[in-house]
Amino acid sequence: MFHIYKMRDDHVLDFAAEELKKYLWMMMPECGNTPISLNSEAKDGFRLGLLEDFGLSNEAPDPVRDDVVHVDTDENGGILAGSNARSVLFAVYRFLRLNGCRWLFPGIDGEYIPRKNIEPQKYHKLADHWYRGHTTEGNPSIEQVLDYIDFHAKQEENFYAPMGIQTYHIRYYNHEYNQKNRDPEPVPASQYDQWKTLCLAELFKRGMLITDGEHGQVPASIGLKIEDKEAYIRGEKVPTEEQISKMAMLNGKRGLRKDRFNIGKYNFGNPDNTQLCLSQPDVRKALVQTFADYAASNPHADHLSLYFADANHNHCECPDCYDTRPSDYLVMIANELDEELTRRGLNTRFCFSTYVDMMFPPQKEKFKNPSRFYIKFTPITRSYTASLQEDSIIPPSKPYLQKNVWDAPKTIEDCASYLVDWRKQFEGQCYTYEYHFWRAQYRDPGLTDISRRLYEDVRSQKYIGSRGILQDGSNKSYFPHGFHDHIFAETLVNRELDYDAEKADFMEHLYGDDWKQVNAYLTGISQAFGEKYMAGEESADEAKGMHYNPARVPYLAKVKELAAMARDLAAKHKVMPTRPQTVAYRLLNRHAEYCERLAEVFMEKCQGHDKYALELFRKFANDYSDYEYEIERYMDFGLAMSALEVIVKQMPTIEF
């Protein structure tokens, strides 16, 4: 029997010890009575503590944020250590993984825990990227978010951003994309607030770093409550004249900014997409106070976001604002915020985003205290069909023209050119805010191309001076598998990871002995749809549409045969040796129908039959919604359908 010792009193070590005990017990039934105690002098059993507790050097540049994981064990126990308490938890998971455990997707059904005795293990690694994490997006329930937080830690990701979580919960509980099958379940705002607190508590338990803040703080600064956003969009609430006077002027008029490409039923204006008139000192002051108040009430956050409104081409064009770049206002507000935080005695750091209009660096203003801020490289308009490489040439950026007039940079090289300009003025820490798990993943139904892109994009962070990636996207990205999420997390820890070896290990654990046949199906599906075609980069005649390409028909026609292959595999593997495998093959069966129906849509789309393609898509979305409840833990149905509808309607994929 083992003994687990904690080398110091720490709540994260308490959780790490309990996790170690739980999984050892699952692996070896005789370990059920494993005792846990606090003993800094222990010399045997499993010893959990910081590197310095064992006289080990700590090479972490920032021990609070950088993770060093150290494993040195034999058959009877050993050292599980880290640069901070969170890293000790990661050491527990890494030790278990080295002994054969796998976490293949969130929830208990995704756990592969072998029955076997532990074996000696040695491992020591400083994670290659400081910033490794996800946000909440799409349409998740609270249970799904909690499952993901647990899974997030098991993947050794250290940052989580519960930004805008209420908005996404509202979408789920109102069942906006599937009211055919599911009645709305209104939830009071106070309950959402409680649930966010619950998420924070689960993050604290694991020692996770938290970043927070949302676009809704902008309208909140002029009195438009975040929880009322949907009511304004539907026209059930309207802003006052005083509030309107503080909003950005566009085309000579102030008011809520209507979504240019709204695909929903209502479009009375979205507060989150409405910029303010920042030449008004009282407007800036109110915004600064809102950010500072949020910092004061959220001392748990490692840093917060200094956001403007969402969307693009929507900054104020009034005579007093027109000649000042949005990024100059950003720096102006950052300096005013720094003064206010200093006055309040708050050390909170903020990140700011090189986002759409803010990709152009400031022309006049300078940061007075750059150490308080991080730069967040946000290439939202980029293509996801190519990655930055070591020998990539970053071209000169295009010049700033005038307020709200610019063309979206399409390549990652073009996006990086603006970061180069920013870095000439700001030398602080930089990380990347990405969107692989937002719309991009739904353009690759087989998830093989996006998996490779994630691997390459993580590796490319070194070339642009970024210390990692925070993903804006769904926490339900496991339909029919989650290798793209796994390779993202693992490459953030080790950029020298062997992609093919990691994929073989993951797929074999998920699908068993016939994993190569499943992989052939998935690869075939990705090739049939084609990442460049689905991204609108393979048009045979742009005058006929971004997705007009009759030559794609033979590829899409192969999906029917591939789907039959997947159904056959699923039928032969209904009951598997492990629960994750049984679930995986059931998802594969549903995925075959999904791809077959989707291929029918795009066979029409690529021939220019746009109206018929839209008709087919809407029927497909309506029919497939019958399965939503069955697959909702693995697929974000609402986000998937909205992302695909953007393509089928031929709406520009950079608009949102």
- Averaged pLDDT, 338-346: 98
Burial (CB < 10 A; 0-12, 13-18, 19+), residue 270, is buried
At 611 the pLDDT is 94
Indicate whether 267 pLDDT > 80.
Answer: no
Provide the CATH number for the domain around residue 90.
3.30.379.10
* pLDDT of 229: 85
The whole-number average pLDDT for the span 175-184 is 93
The H or E element that residue 12 is part of is: helix 11-27
pLDDT value, residue 166: 87
The verdict on 466 and 481 lying in the same domain is yes
* Domain that residue 109 falls in: 4-126
Residue 409: both structure tokens together: 């940079």
Q: Is 101 helix (H, G, I), strand (E, B) or coil?
A: coil
The string of pLDDT tens digits covering residues 601-631 is: 999 999 999 999 999 999 999 999 999 999 9
Query: Please, which residues have CB within 8 angstroms of residue 319's CB and are 6 or more apart in sequence?
Result: none
Instruction: Provide mean pLDDT across the span 405-419.
Output: 96
Residues forming a β-bridge with 111: 103
Residue 266 covered by a domain: no
Predicted confidence at residue 652, as pLDDT, reads 39
DSSP bridge partners of 22: none
Average pLDDT over residues 384-399: 96
Question: Which of 126, 144, 161 finishes a domain?
Answer: 126
In angstroms, rounded to a whole number, what is the distance separating the alpha carbons of residues 170 and 272?
15
pLDDT in tens, 320-329: 999 999 999 9
- Number of domain units in the chain: 3
- Cβ contacts of residue 127 below 8 Å, gap of 6+? 66, 67, 68, 69, 156, 158, 492, 493, 494
Q: Is the domain of 96 the same as that of 167? A: no
- The residue among 361 and 227 whose pLDDT is bigger is 361
Q: What is the pLDDT of residue 228?
A: 87
Tell me, rounded to whole angstroms, the distance of Cα 283 from its chain centroid. Answer: 31
Same domain, 357 and 468: yes
Judge whether 254 and 247 are in contact, CB under 8 Å: yes
Quote the pLDDT of residue 227. Answer: 81
Do 204 and 344 reside in the same domain of the chain? yes
Which carries the bigger pLDDT value, residue 32 or residue 522?
Answer: 522
pLDDT of 297 strictly over 90: yes
Instruction: Establish if 656 belongs to a structural domain.
Output: no
pLDDT given for residue 556 in this prediction: 98
In a domain, 577, yes or no: yes
Using DSSP's 3-state secondary structure scheme, residue 131 falls into: strand
pLDDT of residue 651: 47
Name, in order, each residue with C-beta under 8 angstroms of 486's C-beta and a sequence gap of 6 or more: 104, 155, 502, 506
- Is residue 239 one of the residues assigned to a domain? no
Are both 25 and 160 inside the same structural domain?
no
For residues 376 and 470, state if they share a domain: yes
99/135 same-domain check: no
Whether 189 and 60 share a structural domain: no
Q: Give the pLDDT score at 260.
A: 60
* Residue 234, domain member (yes or no): no
* CB contact at 8 A, 150 and 130: no
Picking from 190, 196, 143, 134, the residue whose alpha carbon sits closest to that of residue 165 is 196
Q: How confident is the model at residue 275 (pLDDT cuts 50, 70, 90)?
A: very high
Assigned domain for 262 exists: no
Q: Is the pLDDT of residue 108 over 70?
A: yes
Nearest alpha carbon to residue 656 among 457, 354, 438, 442: 438
Q: Are residues 441 and 552 in the same domain?
A: no
Amino acid at 427: E
Q: What is the CATH number of the domain that holds 192?
A: 3.20.20
Do 114 and 135 belong together in one domain?
no
The whole-angstrom separation of Cα 369 and Cα 642 is: 41
φ, ψ for residue 610, nearest 5 deg: -65, -45
pLDDT at 406: 94
293 has pLDDT over 60 = yes
Same domain, 473 and 364: yes
Reference 125, options 60, 198, 77; nearest CA is 60
Q: Is residue 565 part of a domain?
A: yes
By DSSP bridging, strand 36-38 and strand 111-112 are unpaired
Quote the pLDDT of residue 264.
54
State yes or no: pLDDT of 74 exceeds 90: yes
Rounded Cα–Cα distance for residues 534 and 516 (Å): 25
Bridge-partner residues for 254, per DSSP? 249
Is 228 a member of any domain? no
Mean per-residue pLDDT over the chain, rounded: 95
* Residue 122 burial (CB count, 10 A): 11
Mean pLDDT of 75-100: 98
Give the pLDDT mean for 126-130.
Answer: 98
Q: Which of 110, 126, 142 is the last residue of a domain?
A: 126
What's the pLDDT score for residue 259?
74
Three-state SS string over 455-511 comes to: HHHHHCHHHHCCCEEEECCCCCECCCCCHHHHHHHHHHHCCCCCHHHHHHHHHHHHH
DSSP state letter for 248: P
pLDDT, tens digit (0-9, with 9 covering 90-100), for 451-503? 999 999 999 999 999 999 999 999 999 999 999 999 999 999 999 999 999 99
* Residue 87, helix vs strand vs coil: helix
pLDDT in tens, 202-247: 999 999 999 998 888 999 999 998 888 888 988 999 999 999 999 9
For the CA atoms of 555, 561, 566, 567, what is the dihedral angle to 10 degrees?
A: 140
Q: Same domain, yes or no, for 65 and 102?
A: yes
Instruction: Say what angle helices 189-205 and 11-27 make with each other, to 10 degrees.
Output: 80
* In 520-588, beta strands by DSSP E: none
Q: What's the per-residue H, E or C state across 329-379?
A: HHHHHHHHHHHHHHHHCCCCEEEEEECHHHHCCCCCCCCCCHHHEEEEECC
Q: Any alpha helices (H) in 234-280, and if so which ranges?
A: 241-245
Q: Which of 93, 126, 159 is the last residue of a domain?
A: 126
Q: What is the pLDDT of residue 487?
A: 98
Read off the pLDDT band of 266 (50, 70, 90): low
The beta-strand segments (E) located in 23-168 are 36-38, 46-50, 68-74, 77-82, 102-103, 111-112, 121-126, 131-135, 159-161
CB 350 within 8 A of CB 303: yes
**What are the structure tokens assigned to 618, written together?**
């809407």
Look at residue 656 in the predicted model and tell me its pLDDT. Answer: 33
Which residue is it, tokens 């000042």? 324
